[in-house]
Structure 1
Amino acid sequence: MWQPPPPYKLNFDAVVFSGLEKTGIGAIIRNDKGEVMEAMFAVGPSIENSEEAELLAYRRSLEFSVDARFTSLIIEGDNVNVIQAISSSLSNHSLLGCVVDDVRHLIHGLHWAMPNQIRREENTVAHVLAQYARNLDDDLYWMEDSPPPALVALYHDASLL
Structure 2
Amino acid sequence: MLYWSGFGAIIRNSSGEVTAGMSLKGPYVNSSEEAEVLACRRAVKFSREVGFSQVIIEGDCLNVMRALSVSTENSSMLGHIYEDIKFNFREMQVLSINWVKRGGNMVAYTLAKHARNLINDLYWIEDTPPPAVDTLYYDSLHFNE
TM over 0.5: yes
| Structure 1: runs of 5+ lacking an equivalent | 1-16
Between the aligned residues of both structures, percent identity stands at 45
Q: What is the correspondence of 1:41-52 to structure 2 with a 5 Å cutoff?
A: 41-52=23-34
Q: Alignment RMSD, CA only?
A: 1.5
Task: State the SS of the aligned residue for 1:138.
Answer: coil
Q: How far did residue 157 of structure 1 move?
A: 0.9
Q: How far did residue 111 of structure 1 move?
A: 2.9
Alignment match of 1:85 (pick from 67, 78, 82)? 67
Task: State the SS of the aligned residue for 1:149.
Answer: helix
Q: How far did residue 117 of structure 1 move?
A: 0.8
- TM-score normalised to structure 1 length: 0.84
Q: Distance in 2 between matches of 1:128 and 1:152?
A: 10
Q: What is the correspondence of 1:1-161 to structure 2 with a 5 Å cutoff?
A: 18=3, 22-160=4-142, 161=144
Higher relative contact order (CA 8 A, sep 6+): 2
- Report if aligned partners of 1:40, 1:141 keep a CA contact under 8 Å in 2: yes
Q: Distance in 2 between matches of 1:85 and 1:130?
A: 21
Moved more, 141-150 or 108-117: 108-117
Task: State the SS of the aligned residue for 1:135.
Answer: coil
- Report if aligned partners of 2:74, 2:82 keep a CA contact under 8 Å in 1: yes
The code of the aligned residue for 2:20 comes to E
Q: How far did residue 46 of structure 1 move?
A: 0.5
Task: State the SS of the aligned residue for 1:157.
Answer: helix
User: What residue in structure 2 maps to residue 7 of structure 1?
Assistant: none
Question: 1:11-33: CA deviations, max 9, x gaps?
Answer: xxxxxx82xxx210001001122
Q: How far did residue 71 of structure 1 move?
A: 0.5
Moved more, 110-119 or 97-106: 110-119
Q: How far did residue 112 of structure 1 move?
A: 3.8
- Report if aligned partners of 1:107, 1:113 keep a CA contact under 8 Å in 2: no
Q: Distance in 1 between matches of 2:106 and 2:25?
A: 18
Q: Distance in 2 between matches of 1:111 and 1:47?
A: 29
> Alignment length, in residue pairs?
143
- TM-score normalised to structure 2 length: 0.93
Question: 1:98-153: CA deviations, max 9, x gaps?
Answer: 10100111112103431111111100000000000122011100111111110111
Q: Distance in 1 between matches of 2:54 and 2:86?
A: 15
